Amino acid sequence: MSFCSVVEIAGEVRAGRVTARAVTEATLSRIQRLDSGINAFTAVTEARAIAAAEGIDADLAAGRPVGPLAGVPFAVKNLFDIEGLPTLAGSKIRRDAAPPSQDAALVQRLTTAGAVLVGALNMDEFAYGFVTENAHDGPVRNPHDLTRIAGGSSGGSAAAVAAGLVPLTLGSDTNGSIRIPAGLCGVFGLKPTYGRLSRQGVFPFVESLDHVGPFARSVEDLALAYDVLQGADPAGDPICVREAEPLASRLDALAEQPLRVGMLGGWFQQGAFPEVLAALGYVAEALEAKGEVILQSAQAARAAAFCLTAFEGGELHHDDLARRAMDYDPAVRDRLLAGALLPVGVAEAAKRFRTIFRDEVREAFQHYDILLAPASVCPAPPIGQATMEMDGVPVSVRKNLGAFTQPISYVGLPVVAAPVNRPGQLPIGVQIIAPAWREDLAFAAALRLQRAGVVAAHPPTGAL
């Protein structure tokens, strides 16, 4: 059987046609054979995984109930707490941190549902980046071309799924860190509404913008994981107060509902590479998009997100910057130092502007159920490339990969990042954006596109 599908694995294990231990052992073997070329994992929890798998098999043998994700291997970005392992957040400074005494809330929810944790994943230091070229753990390599980046900051999470190492991972998204690597690696990713999923036990970056969510290889897998991850957690994360809204069982009905679809223009196409615009147009045509939507404040919203990110990041790291500045990744340290010098008024202004931009976005959603935009300005650049051209002007790769994602997370909207079906070419992703708390609409559009063959996870190429 294939070990790449969440739905298939759970079904086969629950039916007794394969054991959870066999699935886990095959997964661990594949990680051992292939990850040295990708560098997605920073830790493999082999003993824990085997023990968990054996527990699931014992429950099945005894006729005890098992969860909907029984036997499904998963891994998490190394800013999620894993009991007994230091939570690195991609850094050197936290290598000697005391290991947490319990898993993060979302790790607990997955394991309660029967999923088997197999390890922790590489990332940009403290989630401040879009490339996952980590100065301490090395770069994550794109499974479709090992000379290219996987995107970031959840690069290990996307690459592990793209390479078929695991069928499910967790990542975080502050300014695009789920959507960009999902698009560049050719897999599906979900950035839910701000406050939808608990961040308890996740090392913070920018409290005002931090989201967490899953990566998978199909809409069905993403939906099944999303259902398990949902649920209010006001004691662990004060902004996570909404009760669960099951989705996976409603996918067929959702895919049949009519959708009013618009395509974001203006800022959201400015400087995009031609192949990115072609992929966006392909998706828009398939969904019968009826118009182009211009959000006049998008560029200002992105600037506000930059300011909020720098200020809150600098504030969070103020003490460590004062004591151990040289232990930071140089690409991260300088931005955090600059943020630490910003006056509080900058952050206050950035938060106030959120209301203005949110109102503009709400007006657009009076006319559309879904808005489409690219997930990144270009396909995956080569590892180490510092600049690229946008509209003929050299710009920083690190600063500009998130040009089309930052305005969306600034106002906390839910997005399914979907890989456009481009066999034999580098992956390109689109953002399927819905109104706040309407993840169901984004999933409906993604499933319709998947069933039409317009979006699909890219199979790993000969690079592996």
Contacts of 332 (CB under 8 A, 6+ apart): 124, 125, 126, 128, 129
Tokens encoding 425 = 């070419």
| Chain Cα centroid distance, residue 275 | 22
Q: Which residue has the tokens 């390109």?
A: 428
d(CA 120, CA 170): 10
Total Cβ atoms within 10 A of residue 55: 15
Task: Decide the pairing of beta strands 116-121 and 41-44.
Answer: antiparallel
Convert 143-163 to b/e letters by CB count within 10 Å (16 or more is b). bbbbebbbbbbbbbbbbbbbb
d(CA 182, CA 166): 14
| CA dihedral of residues 364, 348, 308, 203 (deg, nearest 10) | -110
Please classify residue 260 by burial: count the beta carbons closer than 10 Å to its beta carbon, then call 0-12 exposed, 13-18 middle and 19+ buried: middle
By the 8 A CB rule, do 144 and 161 touch? no
Identify the CA nearest to 309 among candidates 137, 456, 125, 174: 174
The residue annotated as part of the active site, out of 177, 198, 297, 376, is: 177
For residue 177, indicate whether it is catalytic: yes
Contacts of 114 (CB under 8 A, 6+ apart): 10, 13, 20, 56, 66, 67, 68, 69, 70, 71, 72
For residue 249, indicate whether it is catalytic: no
DSSP-derived secondary structure for 413-429: --EEEEEB--TTS---E
For residue 399, indicate whether it is catalytic: no
Tokens encoding 106 = 């979302």
Radius of gyration of the chain (CA): 20
The residue annotated as part of the active site, out of 153, 172, 208, 297, is: 153
Beta bridge partners of 212: 172
Q: Report the greatest alpha carbon distance in the chain.
A: 65
Identify the CA nearest to 43 among candidates 73, 4, 86, 3: 86
Tokens encoding 182 = 């999902």
Tokens encoding 337 = 């130092």
Catalytic residues: 77, 153, 177
